[in-house]
């Protein structure tokens, strides 16, 4: 008799340090591509949820501890932030994502400015400061690795992130967001909003509170 694996619990949004339902109460189904059967329900983030997440990230950036935290402290938290995938991903994704977070955690203590002599007795200096709120949009094909590539450098530099995973593969990003909270990442620093690109992604890229967009995707997404 074939064995049936229990599906994961319904996935929800992560906004301002809390795991919440979508404001509309809407959900969508994520599907198993091998069996074409539903895996679980996922909260469908809409424009109101995007607005809440961006404001949470903005609040965390301007008034929270993350941007002002000593780089060594951000470095310690970055090394804890990775996910727990299936067997196939275990051989590639986990080592790569762990390496990605470790690598950029190392940069947290090395992103410094320069002191430049411009005249005898005179010096000028530069500062490297975080940008602010980063909107990150990732595709379906490497859901765990893409979280690392987008979020690790942004967080290490002291930014706050609103992450929109692909609607086909949202569970990994949601779990990594949960692990970030467990690791001690402050509320609002990493927000995760599953949903369709035409709704969630569109609202994210148009939001005036987002300082920079990073995405990997199709021409249509761009």
- Alpha-carbon torsion 96, 42, 10, 12, what sign? positive
The pLDDT of residue 74: 57
CA separation for the pair 161, 12 (Å, rounded): 17
- pLDDT tens by residue, 174-205: 988 998 998 899 999 999 999 999 999 999 99
Provide the pLDDT for residue 80. Answer: 35
Q: What is the arithmetic mean of pLDDT over 129-152?
A: 93
- pTM confidence score: 0.83
Q: Is-contact 156 100, C-beta < 8 A? A: no
The reported pLDDT for the residue numbered 82 is 31
Topology of domain 13-215, CATH: Aldehyde Dehydrogenase; Chain A, domain 1 (3.40.605)
Each domain of the chain, given as residue ranges in start order, spans: 13-215
Q: What is the mean pLDDT of residues 64-68?
A: 74
């Amino acid at each position: 008799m074939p064995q049936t694996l229990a599906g994961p619990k319904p996935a929800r949004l992560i906004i301002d340090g809390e795991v919440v339902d979508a404001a509309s109460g809407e959900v969508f189904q994520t599907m198993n591509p091998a069996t074409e059967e539903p895996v679980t329900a996922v909260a469908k983030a809409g424009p109101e949820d995007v607005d809440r997440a961006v404001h949470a990230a903005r609040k965390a950036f301007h008034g929270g501890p993350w941007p002002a935290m000593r780089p060594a402290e951000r470095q310690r938290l970055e090394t804890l932030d990775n996910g727990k995938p299936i067997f196939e991903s275990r051989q590639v994704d986990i080592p790569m994502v762990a390496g990605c977070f470790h690598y950029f955690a190392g940069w947290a203590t090395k992103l410094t400015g320069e002191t430049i002599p411009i005249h005898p007795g005179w010096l000028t200096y530069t500062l490297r400061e975080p940008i602010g709120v980063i909107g990150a949009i990732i595709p379906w094909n490497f859901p765990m690795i893409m979280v690392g590539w987008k979020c690790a450098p942004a967080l290490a530099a002291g930014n706050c992130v609103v992450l929109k995973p692909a609607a086909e593969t949202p569970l990994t990003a949601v779990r990594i967001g949960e692990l970030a909270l467990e690791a001690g990442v402050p509320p609002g620093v990493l927000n995760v909003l599953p949903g369709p690109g035409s709704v969630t992604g569109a609202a994210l890229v148009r939001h005036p509170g987002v300082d920079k967009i990073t995405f990997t995707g199709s021409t249509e997404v761009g």
